[in-house]
Amino acid sequence: MSDAVLVVGAGPTGLAAAAGVASVGRKVILVEKENVLGGAPILSGYAKLVPSGEWAKDAMGRMVKRVADSKLVTIHKGTKVTKVEGGPGNFACTLANGQTVNAGAIILGTGFTHFDSINKPEWGFGTFEDVVTTTQMEQMVAAGKIACPSDGRTPERVAILLCVGSRDRQIGREWCSKICCTVSTNLAMEIKELSPSTDVFIYYMDIRTFGLYEDKFYWKSQEEFRTKFVKARIAEVTRSPDGRLLVKGEDTLVKRPIVIPFDIVVHAIGMDPNELNPEIARVFGVGLEKHGYIERGEQYTSTFSSTRPGIYVGGSALGPEDIDTSISHGLAMAMRAVGDLAAMGARAAA
Ligand SMILES: Cc1cc2nc3c(=O)[nH]c(=O)nc-3n(C[C@H](O)[C@H](O)[C@H](O)COP(=O)(O)OP(=O)(O)OC[C@H]3O[C@@H](n4cnc5c(N)ncnc54)[C@H](O)[C@@H]3O)c2cc1C
Ligand code: SF4
């Protein structure tokens, strides 16, 4: 029987799981396919995180350091697991770099893929330079200057379009991505802070700033930062003769067509299943649910189980999730893995 736990993915979920397993004195093997640890907040260059307001690089930096500093954690970067043999208590895993590692349990924190706005061509991304995604806008905020990508001018008006690649049955994405309303209301405030002359409009179907985020983000953005909220169905984004962007749609409160010119249009992109999930399902022998996220096993007495015994799954690998929840999943999976291994060890010794 192997004492170690294999954690796959070094985003918020995997880093929390690795730290949790190490905190009770167990060995961790952490495998991350990229050469950088920290997951989406680092790989996509997020600015300040909601709800903490901390810079992503600082918050994730602390999570990475805690794991990297632990003598119990062995990190394999820039590689993936290609083969898994054995079962609970005794998995033998082959890595793409040729090494073999043994683990008693496996934790999947393999996360999500950002929606590619190219799949929503009528909203202008890929056609007009000044149509960007929330991650690109966050990178602009992190660099400290709000400017039109096409010519560097300060935008008079910015539109943030919500639910891009979420809640959209036409393109096979029926889920709500959960965090983008809060991220977008926060982004509107950050834009206003950096560029006080810019007016920010948010186009929405519904606002889902869940739980305590309602006043901290939705109301604050509206009342203190004068963000304008437009309840609308958007038809298309085109270019006017003077080079500005035109957002065309229907104001669904007054039931009238509206066309408003903007200088920058931001797509609030959603959280797709990890594009590698078919490969992950094959290599680890776990199921996928109907949208392509990793399937849960029994939820109430075997929480965070996958459909294969001894392999646990949590965070945004299960569906759209925020960082706080992903961290909780990571810690809960550590508890499950360590607890199940201890029970197995006790049975073997009896
Ligand atoms: C635009 C945007 C902004 C956001 N901003 C916030 C915010 O401010 N606050 C907040 O709470 N949430 C935010 N979120 C959500 C946040 O990104 C997720 O909650 C978080 O990243 C989930 O962490 P995770 O570890 O589950 O997944 P990820 O962050 O996706 O990490 C998964 C890791 O696994 C690795 N991996 C994937 N497949 C494999 C494989 N086969 N083998 C090895 N490694 C693999 C990946 O490279 C990655 O490092 C935002 C989301 C979006 C779309
Ligand atoms: S959180 Fe808001 S923007 Fe994101 S999919 Fe849900 S309703 Fe749309």
Chain segment 72-106, per-residue pLDDT in tens: 999 999 999 999 999 999 999 999 999 999 999 99
Strand-by-strand arrangement of the 100-103 sheet: 81-87, 90-95, 100-103
Query: Ligand 1 pocket by C-beta < 6 Å: which residues?
Result: 8-14, 31-34, 39-41, 46, 49-50, 80, 109-112, 114, 134-135, 179, 183, 269, 271, 274, 276, 280, 315-317, 321-324, 326
Q: How far apart are the first and last CA of the chain?
A: 15
Q: Is the peptide bond before 51 cis (omega within 30 degrees of 0)?
A: yes
How far is the centre of ligand 1, averaged over its atoms, from the C-alpha of 15 (Å)?
11
Q: Which ligand is nearest to the CA of 284?
A: 1
Close Cβ partners of 12 (under 8 Å, ≥ 6 residues apart): 39, 41, 60, 63, 109, 315, 323, 326, 327, 330
Ligand 2 touching residue 167 (CB < 6 A): yes
d(CA 115, CA 272): 5
Which residue's alpha carbon is at the smallest distance from atom 4 of ligand 2? 180
Centre of ligand 2 from the C-alpha of residue 177, in Å: 5
CA 348, chain centre distance (Å):
40
- Ligand 2 center from residue 232 Cα (angstroms): 14
Contact 260, 246 (CB under 8 A): yes
Nearest-Å Rg of the Cα atoms of the chain is: 22
Q: Which ligand 1 atom is at minimum distance from the Cα of 49? A: 8
Q: How far apart are CA 149 and CA 129, in angstroms?
A: 6
Strand 28-32 with 105-108, pairing:
unpaired
Q: Pick from 164, 169, 181 the residue to mutate for probing ligand 2's pocket: most ligand atoms within 8 Å of its CB.
A: 181
Span from the CA of 148 to the centroid of ligand 1 (angstroms): 27
Q: Return the ligand 1 atom nearest residue 56 CA.
A: 8
The CA dihedral of 285, 286, 291, 292, to the nearest 10 degrees, is -50
Contact 324, 304 (CB under 8 A): no
The pLDDT of residue 25 is 97
- Quickly count: other Cβ atoms within 10 Å of residue 298's Cβ: 9
Residue numbers in the chain where pLDDT is lower than 70: none
Pocket test for ligand 2, best of 178, 186, 272 (most atoms within 8 A of CB): 178
Note the pLDDT of residue 171.
93
User: Look-up: residue for tokens 């690795």?
Assistant: 18
Q: With H, G, I as helix, E, B as strand and everything else as coil, classify residue 196.
A: coil
Question: How open is the CA angle 235-240-245, to the nearest 5 degrees?
Answer: 60
pLDDT value of position 322: 98
